[in-house]
Amino acid sequence: MTPTVGIIGGGQLARMTHQAAIDLGIDLVVLCPDRDAPALQAGARHLRGAPDQLDDLLRLAASCDVVTLDHEQTPPHLLDAVARRGHRVAPGAHAASLGRDKALARAQLEPHGVPTAPWAIVSTSGEVAGFAERHGWPLYLKRPNGGYDGRGVWRAPDRTTADAALDAAGSGLLVEPVIRFDHELSVIVARSGRGETVAYPPVETVQRDGRCHEVFTPATVGDQQLRDARSLAVTIANAIDLVGTMAVELFATTGGLLLNELAVRTHNSGHLTIEACATSQFENHLRAILDLPLGATHLTVPAAAMVNLVGGPEGSDPLARLGPALAVPGARVHNYRKTARPGRKVGHITATAPTVAGARSTAAAAADALVKETAA
């Protein structure tokens, strides 16, 4: 009895999920329009179709035991429509909607005691000004729905720039103060249908140009904040009735932790769990959605770091030649087999080491070697 998991989207998350599925002897079938999606190049089965077409989603559901997600492009009402026809969908429509809508997530989680920065939904210049009067400039204005990796986010030092953002967005925006934080953390948490929940050791994330550039663990915050972060992730997973794996992104401030956002799927900040933890985020996602016992999440190594590989400014491919990275002892290359475009993630490097400094330096050295090679 081989379980089959259907996944909407065939990107790198589906690709790494397929790798985890191989270990467990699980079949993965991918719904996506492209024949050369990263997961398909790794050998997952293909069901050609669109992530936002109910008919295609139902064909996927009919071919598997449970439907899950590689991205946030499927409107939650379609996930719900699939579930109402008796198919298992994990995460469910409600949990998935909180990963798409920052305002919805905050509104739902505040009653559970989850700390967030002050925020409001604003549509007019006057509303922004009112918010600024209470919380001061500068502000962030964000599309509540769909923005990520720096897209759909505006930093507004004053009312003029805020007005420009409102004009550019053409819809209501979430406004919040620019948080002064010491560290950005992320906690991967998995929860199964029977309510078993496991959180991973928090990682620290480093942004570059508004995008995740580097992740490492252990995070450089105090033990109490590490415990609080894990416990917050478990609280949130239970509150939203998560089935699957999720990333809880947090700001660590002098005043404590604040929720930044949720990604209700496996996540870039959890890639290092493949090499560094007793069970990877991808395997625990499969276990969770198939109602299997969840795996241990402890670090099996003292420290680990991950650096994303992105297409160069002219679209050069840092993975065109692997040699320079493979020559760095201890660097682990993950090639997503994506066509390089400027700034597009095409792979990552992970390193484990006795210290965080060692892991970060190995991962950075390998990434730099690839970028130099491309530029040469």
Give the C-alpha separation, 278 to 353, whole Å: 16
Q: Which CB atom, from 45 or from 183, has the smaller least distance to a second copy?
A: 45
12 interacts with a second copy by CB under 8 A: no
Q: Which CB atom, from 245 or from 335, has the smaller least distance to a second copy?
A: 335
| Contacts within 8 Å (CB) and 24+ apart, 126-131 | 127/175, 128/156, 128/159, 128/162, 128/163, 128/166, 128/175, 129/159, 129/162, 131/175
Rounded least distance, CB 141 to a second copy, Å = 39
Rounded least distance, CB 49 to a second copy, Å = 19
Report the amino acid identity of residue 29: V
Question: Interacting stretch for a second copy, rule CB under 8 A, among 84-92, 211-219, 240-248, 296-304?
Answer: 296-304
Question: Interacting stretch for a second copy, rule CB under 8 A, among 115-123, 178-186, 274-282, 308-316?
Answer: 274-282
271 interacts with a second copy by CB under 8 A: no
Pick the binder of a second copy from 175, 336, 356, 363 (CB under 8 A): 336
Rg (CA), the chain: 20
366 interacts with a second copy by CB under 8 A: no
Rounded least distance, CB 35 to a second copy, Å = 14
Give the C-alpha separation, 214 to 303, whole Å: 14
Pick the binder of a second copy from 267, 275, 311, 345 (CB under 8 A): 275
300 interacts with a second copy by CB under 8 A: yes
- φ, ψ dihedrals at 18, nearest 5°: -60, -40
93 interacts with a second copy by CB under 8 A: no
What is the torsion angle, in degrees rounded to the nearest 10, for the CA atoms of residue 76, residue 28, residue 215 and residue 150? -40
Contacts of 82 (CB under 8 A, 6+ apart): 54, 57, 58, 61, 67, 89
Give the C-alpha separation, 325 to 48, whole Å: 35
Rounded least distance, CB 255 to a second copy, Å = 35
376 interacts with a second copy by CB under 8 A: no
Size of the site for a second copy (CB under 8 A): 43
Report the amino acid identity of residue 139: L
Give the dihedral sign, CA 274/277/281/282: positive
In DSSP terms, which residues pair with 189 in a beta bridge?
Answer: 199, 246
70 interacts with a second copy by CB under 8 A: no
Tally the residues of the chain: 376
Q: Which CB atom, from 43 or from 157, has the smaller least distance to a second copy?
A: 43
Q: Which CB atom, from 221 or from 369, has the smaller least distance to a second copy?
A: 369
Give the C-alpha separation, 94 to 304, whole Å: 33
329 interacts with a second copy by CB under 8 A: yes
Rounded least distance, CB 58 to a second copy, Å = 25
357 interacts with a second copy by CB under 8 A: no
Q: What is the β-pairing status of strands 27-32 and 4-8?
A: parallel
**What residues between 21 and 50 interact with a second copy by CB under 8 A?**
22-25, 27, 41-45
Contact string 238-257 vs a second copy (x = CB under 8 A): --------------------
Rounded least distance, CB 329 to a second copy, Å = 4
The structure tokens listed for 272 are 């290092």
Q: Which CB atom, from 313 or from 329, has the smaller least distance to a second copy?
A: 329
371 interacts with a second copy by CB under 8 A: no
Query: According to DSSP H, which parts of 210-355 are helical?
Result: 223-239, 273-276, 281-289, 323-326
Picking from 204, 200, 202, 214, the residue whose alpha carbon sits closest to that of residue 361 is 214
Return the SS3 of 78.
Answer: helix
Question: Interacting stretch for a second copy, rule CB under 8 A, among 79-87, 100-108, 117-125, 324-332?
Answer: 324-332
Query: How many angstroms separate the most distant Cα atoms in the chain?
Result: 62
Question: Residues interacting with a second copy, by CB under 8 A?
Answer: 1-2, 15, 18-19, 22-25, 27, 41-45, 275, 278-279, 287, 292-293, 295-296, 298, 300-301, 319-323, 326-327, 329-330, 332-337, 347, 352
